[in-house]
Amino acid sequence: MVDGIVAVVRAMVLYAVGAPFELEERPVPRPAPDEALIKVRACGAGLTVHHAKVGTSPATLPVIMGHEIAGEIVALGSAVQGLEIGDRVTPHFYLFCGRCRYCLTMREPLCENTGGYIGRQRDGGYAEYVALPARNLIKIPAELPYDAHPEQVAVICDAIATPYKVTRRARIRPLEDVLVIGAAGGVGIHMVQLARFFQARVLAADRGEAKLDAAKSAGAHETIDALVGPIDAQARKLTDGRGADVVVDFVASPETLQAGLAALAPGGRLAILSVHRDSRFNVDPLWMLNGEREVIGSRYVTRQEIVDALELVRRGHIRPIVTRIFALEEAEQAHELLGQGATIGRAALVMDSET
Ligand SMILES: [Zn+2]
């Protein structure tokens, strides 16, 4: 029991892979000395969470999922410094150690002593309160619309920070042709905005008119309907046969990876973010060498990239696109839509502000 806070909180708990979430009342989590207790205001619901729910990514069950959190600190462990009760915060998704060679050089996703992920190996944000390590927490700038649109603020730490990092990993430069595969998805739609922000020409690939219209509204210059024909052939047609300078594949099936590679211009870079378990594809080393092509893995973000992503939104350069909002107890409905690939942009859960 933490002083001044309700004793019991509602949470959506996953007990088995593929099972529905169960609404439960639980004691308020008690923060460890290096942790903060956060009252959750909103939590993003995306494919990263969904993969863990259906077993594509491992999770330690039972668990409360959700890592794209916007919330307010209501209690602090005894050893926490630099944070105050009342601070509005958003977390880094990975349970990094903060001490290894990668953490000390701002490469938290490569941590040598990783404890896993928020919402998989420890409880996350599909709950009214969550306790998280203080080192994961980043303050939300006061100018962001936390009160009016907490769902927009919540998704920045992944859905905007992740494609922001890709602009750096894949070295997106002005005037380049950037092909985004899965351009209407929760992260893809923000990749479209970011590539445009970096003055690239954006070719958005997705399936069907509604998704391509959304990508166009987000700033895509050209669209490619994967239902119509091969993505690589369409991309070459739109680039006078040269191909794309950067391909970012958010679908990462064997087919899209192969098409993305085939669409690379000389000097081109293929960025891989998520993969299905057996997403292998063929690479011709001579073609790679002769064209100086690159395949790049880009794994989540650093804490600084979350700070930068918050700033990009604060300055109005990037607009969080959350198209579906659900109450906490509606998490299962959100994931039904995610499983069908039926969401455009991000979905999010917003907590009852009276709780
Ligand atoms: Zn580490």
Distance 53 CA to ligand 1 centre (A): 26
What is the CA 345 to chain-centroid distance, rounded? 11
How far, in Å, CA of 92 to CA of 161, rounded? 10
Ligand 1 centre distance from Cα of residue 116 (Å): 11
Distance (angstroms) between ligand 1 centre and the Cα of 14 equals 28
Does position 214 have pLDDT exceeding 60, yes or no?
yes
Q: Calculate how far, in angstroms, residue 114's C-alpha sits from the geometric centre of ligand 1.
A: 6
Show the tokens assigned to 157.
């730490």
pTM of this structure? 0.96
**Residue 117 C-alpha to ligand 1 middle, in angstroms?**
13
Residue 65 CA, ligand 1 centroid: distance in Å: 22
Q: What is the mean pLDDT of residues 59-67?
A: 97
- Residue 1 in this model has a pLDDT that exceeds 50: no
Distance 95 CA to ligand 1 centre (A): 9
Q: How far is the CA of 112 from the centre of ligand 1 (A)?
A: 5
Q: Which element (helix H / strand E) includes 48?
A: helix 47-54
For the segment 96-148, what is each residue's pLDDT rounded down to a tens digit?
A: 999 999 999 999 999 999 999 999 999 999 999 999 999 999 999 999 999 99
Mean of all residue pLDDT scores within the chain: 96
State the average pLDDT over residues 67-83. Answer: 98
Is the model's pLDDT at 276 over the cut of 70? yes
State how far the Cα of 290 lies from the Cα of 279, in Å rounded to an integer: 25
Instruction: Kindly indicate the confidence band of residue 4, based on its pLDDT and cuts at 50, 70 and 90.
Output: low
**Length reported for the chain:** 355
Gap from CA of 133 to ligand 1 centroid (Å): 14
Residues, beta carbon < 5 Å, ion ligand 1:
96-97, 100, 103, 111
Which of the four pLDDT bands, split at 50, 70 and 90, describes residue 342?
A: confident
Residues with Cβ within 8 Å of 115's Cβ and at least 6 positions away in sequence, in order, are 95, 96, 97, 121, 122
Question: What pLDDT was estimated at residue 279?
Answer: 83
Domains in the chain, CATH or no CATH each: 8-155+320-350 (3.90.180.10), 169-297 (3.90.180.10)
Please say if the pLDDT value at position 265 is more than 80: yes
Q: Is the pLDDT of residue 2 over 60?
A: no
Q: What is the pLDDT of residues 159-185, one digit of tens each?
A: 999 999 999 999 999 999 999 999 999
